[in-house]
Structure 1
Amino acid sequence: MCRKISYGANQYGPIDYFDSANYALGAGGREKENNVTIVTNYHFTPDIKNLIKGRTSHHLSKDLDYTLRAIPNNVVALDTASRFQKKRQDSVTYAKDQKPLPYFVDCYFKRAIDIFGPKQPQLWMVWAIHKHRNGLYQDALKYYQLAVTNGLKSAELDYNMGLTYFKLGSYEEARVKAKSAYQQGYQLPGLKILLEDAGYPIE
C-alpha cells in the first residue's frame, strides 16, 4: 500500500520527462537551463546515479526523492531508485551508510503512472526491469507486455523481456526475443550465452 507522495519542499513539478517542451532553454527563468536540468543538475548528479552519495546531503535518498517528486517519470532516476533500494537490501554496510528512500520504489512508479497516464511505455519497461531485479518475474513479464501494448519497440525491450522469459523457463519465447534483440544490433551476450547453455541456441 502506497502513501500519497506529496511535493513537500519541491519548487518544481510535476515535470513530464518525455515532453520536449521541458527541454527548451530558458525554462523556469534560467537562461542556460531547462525544466529538467534545473532539477537534475542539482539533485541527480553522477554520484547519485552511481549510488555513491548525495549532493545536498551525504544520504543520496534525499536528492533522489526530490528528483522523483519533481520529475515523477524520469526513468533514469526511477531505475537508480530501484538499484539503490536493492543495494540497501543486499548490503548491511551500505544500508547503515545510506538512509532509505521515504517511499517504496513501486510507489514512485505508481505515482508516475497516476500523473501521466499508462501510455508512456518506457515507464512500464523500467518498472518491469525493477520487478525482474527483485525476482518478481511474472510481474515483470506483465509490465513488459504493457510496454509492448503501448507501442514500445526496441532491442533493449526484447533483450530484457527475453531474460524474464528465460527466468520463467519459457526458453523458446526467450529465444525469439533474443533473436529479435540481436538482429537489431544489441551487444550484450548474456542472454545468448544463457540460451546456448540451456540447449536453445539462437543460431
Structure 2
Amino acid sequence: MKNIRTLPSALALLLGLCAALPAFAQLSLSICGPLKGSHYGPYDYRPDHQKQSSDPMSHAEKRELVEHAHFTPRVENLIGAQSGGMIGSPGPDLSYTLRAFPNNHRALVSVIRYGEKFKTETPPGLQYPVECYFERAIRFAPDDVIVRIIYSTYLTKKSRSADAIKQLQISSDLAGDQPFTHFNIGLAYFDLKEFAAALQSAHRAQALGFERPDLQEKLRGVGQWQEPAPVEAAASAASSASAASAPSQDKP
C-alpha cells in the first residue's frame, strides 16, 4: 500500500526529468552538430580573429560572399528566403550563414527573433534548434564576448536567470578594458534585476571613459545608482590595506 501511495510523486519526478531533457539534449554535439562539414568555413565573424592567415581571400570578402547570397536584409528581417529563388522561409539561409560564421552576431539575434516569431525552438527551415546556434558559436569562439551577451538575453527571455548570469560573469572576465562591452553587460544585468552587478559594470565602463548615461539613468530610476568612490580615495585605501598586510620589519 505504501508503494502505491508513493507512485504519484515518483511519477511526477520522472515526468519532470523527462520534460527537462530537451533543454539539455539540444546542447549536445549529437543534436547541435559538428562545426566542420560545410564546404565553406567555419570562419570567425570578428575581423581581427581570422584564423586562416594563408587563405588569400580577405575576411571582408568572405563576409560579403556569404551575406550577399544568404544574409540579406530580407533574411535578417525574417521576411523570407534569399536563396532558392527567394521562395520559402529564411531558415535555410540563416542556417547557412551560421554554418559559415558560427559567431555572426547579427544572425544570432535574427535566430532568436525567428524562434520567438513561431514560438518554438525549431522554426521552419532551421537546421538546428535555436539554442544550438549559441552552443555552436561558443564552441567555435569561446572568447567572443558579444556572443555570450546575446546568449544571456536569450536565456533571460527563457526565464533561465542563473544560466544568463553565468554567461554575463564570463563576459565580464573576457571584456578586459572595453568600456562599451562593460556597458552592455551592465544593461543585461539590469534586465535581470541584478542591480549590484549592473552598478559594478556601470562603474567599470565609466572608469574606462564611457560617458553615455543610459545605464546610470536606469539604475537611478529604480533607486540603485551610487556614485563610484573617488579614484584617489580608492587608491589610498588600497595602499593602506597593502601596507597593513605587509610583514613588519622592525629594526634590531
Smaller-chain TM-score range? 0.7 to 0.9
Identity, % of aligned positions? 29
Match of 1:105 among 114, 126, 130: 130
2:225 maps to: 201
Alpha-carbon deviation of 1:142?
0.9
Separation in structure 1 between the aligned mates of residue 106 and residue 52 of structure 2, nearest angstrom: 16
Q: Which runs of 5+ in 2 are unaligned?
A: 1-24, 228-252
CA distance in 2, matches of 1:61, 1:178: 37
- Is the 1:109–1:127 contact (alpha carbons within 8 Å) kept by the matching residues of 2? yes
State the SS of the aligned residue for 1:69.
helix
**Contact 2:42 2:99 (C-alpha < 8 Å) held by counterparts:** yes
Question: 2:96 is matched with which residue: 66, 71, 84?
Answer: 66
- Secondary structure of residue in 2 paired with 1:86: helix
The gaps in structure 1 that reach 5 residues or longer are none
Name which structure has the greater RCO, CA cutoff 8 Å, separation 6+. Answer: 1
The aligned amino acid for 2:150 is V
Secondary structure of the 2:119 match is helix
Cα deviations by residue, 1:41-83 (Å, 9 ceiling, x for unpaired): 1100012222222212331111001111121121221122122
Given candidates 53, 58, 67, the residue that maps to 1:40 is 67
Please give the alpha-carbon distance, in whole angstroms, between the structure 1 residues aligned to 2:102 and 2:126: 14
Which of structure 1's runs of 4+ aligned residues deviate more than 6 A?
A: 21-26
Displacement of 1:109 after TM fit? 1.6
Is residue 159 of structure 2 the alignment partner of residue 171 of structure 1?
no
Q: Is the 8 A contact 1:16 1:22 kept in 2?
A: no
Larger radius of gyration: 2
The alignment of Structure 1 onto Structure 2 pairs a total of residues equal to 190
More off after superposition, 17-26 vs 126-135: 17-26
Provide the TM-score with structure 2 as the length reference.
0.61
Distance 1:153 1:47, change over 3 A: farther
Contact 1:27-1:35 at 8 Å conserved across structures: yes
The question of whether the paired residues in 1 share the 8 Å contact of 2:156 and 2:192 is answered with: no
Answer whether contact 2:145 2:175 (CA < 8 A) is retained: yes
User: What's the offset of the Cα at 1:8?
Assistant: 10
Q: Is the 2:108–2:133 contact (alpha carbons within 8 Å) kept by the matching residues of 1?
A: yes
Q: Residues 151, 9 of structure 1: CA spacing in aligned structure 2 closer, same or farther, 3 A cutoff?
A: closer
Shift of 1:133: 3.7
Opposite residue 177 of structure 1, the aligned amino acid is S
Q: 2:211 — aligned with what?
A: 185
- In the TM superposition, what are the counterparts of 1:58-97 in structure 2 within 5 Å? 58-89=88-119
**Offset of 1:136 from its aligned partner?**
2.5
